[in-house]
Structures are given as C-alpha cells and as structure tokens.
Chains A and B, each alone.
Chain A
Amino acid sequence: MTAVNPAASRRRRGGQDPVSRGPREGVIPRTAAFLVMGVFTLYFLTPIWWLLIASTKDRDDLFSTNPLWFADFRFFENVGALVAYRDGVYLRWLLNSLLYAGVGAVVATLLASMCGYALAKYRFPGRETLFNVVLGGVLVPATALALPLFLLFSQVQLTNTFWAVFLPSIVSPFGVYLSRVFAEASVPDELLEASRLDGAGEIRTFFTVSIRLMFPALVTVFLFQFVSIWNNFFLPLIMLRSEELFPVTYGLYAWNSTINQFPELRTFVLVGSLLSIVPLIITFLLLQRYWRTGLGTGALK
C-alpha cells in the first residue's frame, strides 16, 4: 500500500510537485503532510514491531529488556515450542482458519457474485425489495446474529461442528451489493445478448463471459470476506467447544484469557499472534494488484 502511484511519477517527470495537486502548495504543507503520514505509519506499525520483537524473546527477557529492541534471539526456539505444545494444536488451528476463511470466502464470493449478477441483469418482480433486504443485511452486525444463530443451530444439532462456523461465513450481503454495482457497470447487456444469440445458456454465459468481466470485484469481495472470516472470533466463541475445531483467533483468545493462571502461555500467544497474521499479509500481497484495479474501476464508473 506504499507502492508508488504511477500517475504521480508521471507528473514528476513533468517537473511538477509529486504530492501536491495545486501549484501553490509549498514546502511547509508538504512537510506537514509527510509528518502526519509518518506519525500515523509509526502509530500503526509500532504494535506489529513490538509483536515481532516480543516473539523473538524468551520469557525471562520479555519483561527485563527493551520492549522495542532485540535481546537474545529465540524466535525459532519459540516457534518450535509453540508448534510442539499439546501435539501441535496451534497448527491445527491455523489450518482450520485457512479452511474456514479460504473455502468460506471462495464459496461466499461465488454466491454473492451470482446473486449480485442476477439482481443486476435480470428483471423479475420483487427485485428491488430483495435487493433492499440484502442491503439491510449489511447493516446488521455479525455479532448480533451470533446468539440467534446459536439457538437455531442448537435446534438442528449442528453446534460444535465445522458447519456451525462455515455456513454463516458463506453469506456476504456486502458482497452481493458490490457484485450488483459492479455487474451493472462492467457487464454490457449487448454482450449478454450476443452470447445468447450464439446459443449459450444463462449459466454458461455467467461462467464464461460475465464472471471474467466481474473479476476485479470478485477479488475484492473475496478479500473482504477472507479477512472478516479470519478475524471473526465471536461466532466460533459461541459455537465451538472442541479444541480441534477452533480457528486460530479463538484459540489464541482462549489461551490469552488464562494467562493470569498459566503464565507460560504468554510466549505462545505472542508468537502465535505473529504467525497468525502472516497468511493475511500473504493474501493481501498476492491479490493487491487485482483489488486495487477493482476499486479503481468501480470508482471511475
């Protein structure tokens, strides 16, 4: 997200100020802007830096050495201990998270794109009502739904199963909204007509033509959903009892809640937290290109 804006570098060649847009802005506002950005960058990065440093220390050094600089480098020993603890339960949690967030986000994206596409491209009675209901869903926080979901899932005896976390995760009202907006803007009706004239069915048209045009939006939906499933901790908290089903956020929370009584868990929580953000960072970096164009295209239309 610190990547250089190509537009800005083009302007620089023209001899213009690379940051400010108006010709009147001088050195002082520029410095001020950099200062503000610098302070905020520091503000956001310091906790991560602290986490990085803390996970390289053993328990003795954690409190007795400078919290923002390295002491004895024990990172790999710490990771080894974390992975070995209770037969690798942490790795299990990490895999669970990847499963919930990865598969969940793919399915959620597919469902949201189909739904958004249908709302954008087909006329049927109740279309706007349906859309408004979905839009209303965006406003309901997931937390408020967790308890009703728990009572529902209890009725059908699905609590404490993989499905209890997976099924609610594949629903993304925001994804539907985004897909509709994007399908309206980027999938021309003429193309659909052409496709139909060529004899393609609706489903084939969707999967071979429309979905490609909607791709940047889909990446964005996927990312949003991936991150929100990865970070969703309240639903697992209410639904899950068996350690082997926990996602990593909930597992770490459970450990963290007993640190007072079991201080040896502290190092595990720290190292575990650091490792648990790695998949998020990787996903972001891999998909960065797509979702940036996606948001950009949406903004221009």
Chain B
Amino acid sequence: MRSAKRAAAAALLTVSALAVAGCAAGGGSGSGGDAASCEPAGEDVTLTFTSWIPGIEDAVAMWNEENPDIQVEVQTGPSGNAGTYQNFFNQLEAGNAPDLGQIEYDALPNFRVQDGLVDLGACEDVLAAEDQFLDWTWGQVTLGTEDEVYGIPQDQGPMALFYRSDLFEQNGIPVPTTWEEYREAAVQIRELGGYITNFSDSDINQFAGFVWQAGGQWFENDGDAWTVNLTGEESTTVADYWQDLIENDLVSTYPAWTDEWNNAYNSGEVWTWNSAVWGANSILSGAPDTSGNWSVALAPQWNAGDEKAGNWGGSSIAVFNGTDHLYEAAKFALWLNTSEEALTSLNETAQIYPATTAGLELPVLQEGVEFYGGQPIYDVFAQAATQVDPNFTWGPTMTQTYGDVSDGFKAAAQGNGTLLEALEEGQAATVSTLEAQSIPVAE
C-alpha cells in the first residue's frame, strides 16, 4: 500500500507540474477576484459541494430537507493534499469547479493567489457572522485583508499536551508546564528507558504549530508582496530546542502514523504527544492498550505563566470562482458551520471540532471521555482555542514549503544536518518558488 501511495504521489507530481505549466500559460494575475454580487437567484438552485469528511452527507441531508429551493449535492475524494486540491485546480482550469469546496487553512492562500476563490465579503450575512467565530479562525479566512472573506471557517486544531498521567504519577515526575520543564522531564524519562515524545520528521504542520505558539510568523502579506520568514527568531528558538532533544536522544523519531509509531505509544515507550484536538482520536485508535491512562493539559509554555497555544490543522468551506450562486452557497456554508444541528452532526459523525465560539459549548463536548480517565478533555482544548495567536498567516505555496522543509527534517532526524538548516533551505526554496510563479516577494 505504501508503494502504491508513493506511485500515486509521483503521478500527482507529474500532473501538478503539468497543471502549474497550464496555470502559468493561462496567466492568472493573482490579484482581485471578481466583485461578484450576492443576490438570491430567485429560482430553485442545486449546489455542488466537495468535501472528504466521511459522513458529511448526514448534515447536508438535514439542509436539503429544510431548504427545498437550495439543494446541495455532495461530491467527495481523497483528503486535500492527497489529490482533491489538485483536482480543484484542474477543475478551475477546465471551468467546471464545484460551487463549494473544503479547503484547509494552510492551502487557502494558494487558491487565493491562483484566483480560484470568490470573495464572500459581498454577502452581508457573511460579514455579520464574524462575531460568531473565534478571532483567529476568522483571521485564517480573511487572509489579512479587511472585509474580504475567502471561506467560512469549519474546524480547528488547537494544540495541547496529551500525556500518560499514570506514568508521570508513578515515577514522581511533575507534568511539565514550560518547555524547560519539558526538557528536564525528557531527561528523567530517558533514564527510565522511555521517550518523552516522538519528533516526527513528516509533521511539518506540528512544527509550524510550535512556531505559531512561540509567536513566530512564517508569512506576511501587505496586499502587494509576500514576506517569507521561516528562520525568524522564534522559529530558530523552536528549531534549536528540538534539535537539542534529537541530538541527545531524548525523543524518538518514528515516522508519524505508522505501525511503529502507534506501537511506541501503545507500549508506553513514548509518554506524551503535543498535538491538536483531533489527536485525541488518533491515540484512542493507535494505542488502545493504554485506555484510561491518558490526560490532557495545556501545552508547555516558553515563559512560565504565559497562556499561548499553537494550532495544527483546521479547514474552511470556500466558494469557487465560476459559481452562479454566491448567495445560496454562502448561506449554506454559514449554516453548515454555525448552526447547532449541523455542528452536532459533524461532531458525531467525524469528530469535527467547530471553529465558532458557540460550537465549543456543544453539549457533546462537555462530557468526560472514558479513554482519558473520564476527563472532560474538550474543556482544555476550548481554553487553548482562545489562546491561539490570530495573526498567523500561511504562504501561497505551502505544499512546496512543507516538502522542502520535510526533506531537511528527515535528514536531521537521522543526524545529517539540523532543523534550522532545513528551515533555511525551505526559506530559499519558497522564495524561488514564489518568484517562479510570478508572485511578488518583499525584499
């Protein structure tokens, strides 16, 4: 299966190269979408909506029942980076994109610069909905502009610390609240034969979450040009910190989501995971023998007493250029991501963690979770969600950036080069990719 995946990835690369060539030839300017008007169609409308969340049909079925004049048809495919984003670009190129699509926050700027998205700011309802969302999730869809909205936030991944409360307790190690304490605990745990955590070379998103928490900014856009800063002060601090843990064999370096990785958690070799809210499900599934032994705490801080959290993941529902039904599409996207019935359904079928303030209060998110010793863990994530820096921006070529940085991280995990060097290479590669796509770069 893994080789099939690799073949698929290679195939995707081929086609994305073709598609990029196609886009360049098409000469997308990257500035200013159509100033579409947000008027009701006045007739029955059928919208197409692409999402890869299993079970999203249930929520859509509710909508269809209540809105006979605006019917929504669900289309599906693999997760974004596994093919659906490339399909979106192909469809935009061919002029048959769906009306709505699921796009993760880190991919949104890419669609924006390729002129793939409609500005929802033309719809009054959308602008009025801003208050319902957490500041930072709204910031993810406005992309740093005023009154321009390129998607409705759907879910989020505030980060916290999953830890084996039983092991910490038995060995008299205090649960770390700062990154300094975290390192001290790592040393003690290593003496006991375990690892405090696993540093996965493939999860650049996790690392980005650490940088986000530390207050770093990888990208900025002043409306004209992009500033790329993968090697700023905060990124360097985070990179040096983890580099130190890797070099001193204080963390394991299994590739994430593999059997070895699951096994390391299941067998108690690895004690903590700094992960997003959806990680609760991954541990439950990957380390079933440890049921009841896990707890969740707020992430370790860089300065004692700080209250900062990073974010890992989350997505929005965007409306694609070429739609004839902006009004209806926006209406549906708002309903899907703000109404209690839809959010409850999404949480039940796919553990979607909502991006709205009201969503965090859903009754289902207040209960204790058996796997986590009955702890109501979502309280912690709700708190973390309010501590995420609202200004973190993603670049327009994140797939490339992830790829380049991840190559360096893989080498660093095996002792060749450092994480910081990987970031430096990622910086250079990102700048040249932006320039190659005629996206203006500052400095």
Contacts and interface: CB of A to CB of B under 8 A. Distances in A.
Contact of A154 (B52, B82, B95): B95
A241 B1 contact: no
Interface string A247-270: 000000111111111111110010
B338 interface: no
Main secondary structure of the interface of A (DSSP, over half): helix
Given A86-B54, A265-B54, A234 B288 contact: no
A150 B94 contact: yes
A253 B94 contact: no
22 contacts: A63-B288, A64-B289, A86-B55, A151-B90, A154-B96, A155-B94, A159-B94, A237-B87, A238-B15, A240-B77, A241-B48, A241-B76, A253-B8, A253-B82, A254-B77, A257-B78, A258-B52, A261-B350, A263-B284, A263-B285, A264-B285, A266-B285
Given A67-B259, A144-B14, A256-B78, 19 more contacts: A60-B288, A63-B266, A63-B288, A147-B15, A154-B94, A154-B95, A238-B15, A238-B87, A240-B77, A241-B50, A243-B76, A254-B76, A254-B82, A257-B78, A258-B79, A260-B282, A261-B79, A263-B284, A263-B285
Contact of B11 (A60, A143, A242, A262): A143
A284 interface: no
B415 interface: no
Contacts of A67: 259
A64 B278 contact: no
A260 B50 CA distance: 19
A233 B19 contact: no
A63 B286 contact: yes
A90 B314 CA distance: 28
B437 to A, nearest CB: 18
Given A63-B287, A143-B14, A151 B93 contact: yes
A256 B1 contact: yes
Interface of B: 1, 4-5, 8, 11, 14-15, 18-19, 48, 50, 52-55, 75-79, 82-83, 87, 90-91, 93-96, 98, 257, 259, 262-263, 266, 278, 281-282, 284-289, 350-351
A59 interface: yes
B285 A151 contact: no
Tell me the interface secondary structure of chain B in the complex: helix
A263 B259 CA distance: 12
A150 B77 CA distance: 16
Contacts of B94: 150-151, 154-155, 159
A247 to B, nearest CB: 13
A291 to B, nearest CB: 24
Contacts of B87: 237-238, 241
Interface string A34-70: 0000000000000000000000000110011001000
A256 B5 contact: yes
Contacts of B282: 260, 263
Contact of A263 (B4, B14, B55, B286): B286
A169 interface: no
A67 B82 CA distance: 27
A160 interface: yes
Instruction: Sort A-B residue pairs by CB-CB distance and give the 5 closest, nearest first.
Output: A263-B285, A257-B82, A241-B75, A154-B94, A257-B78
A273 interface: yes
A51 to B, nearest CB: 8
A280 interface: no
Nearest to B259: A63
B350 A262 contact: yes
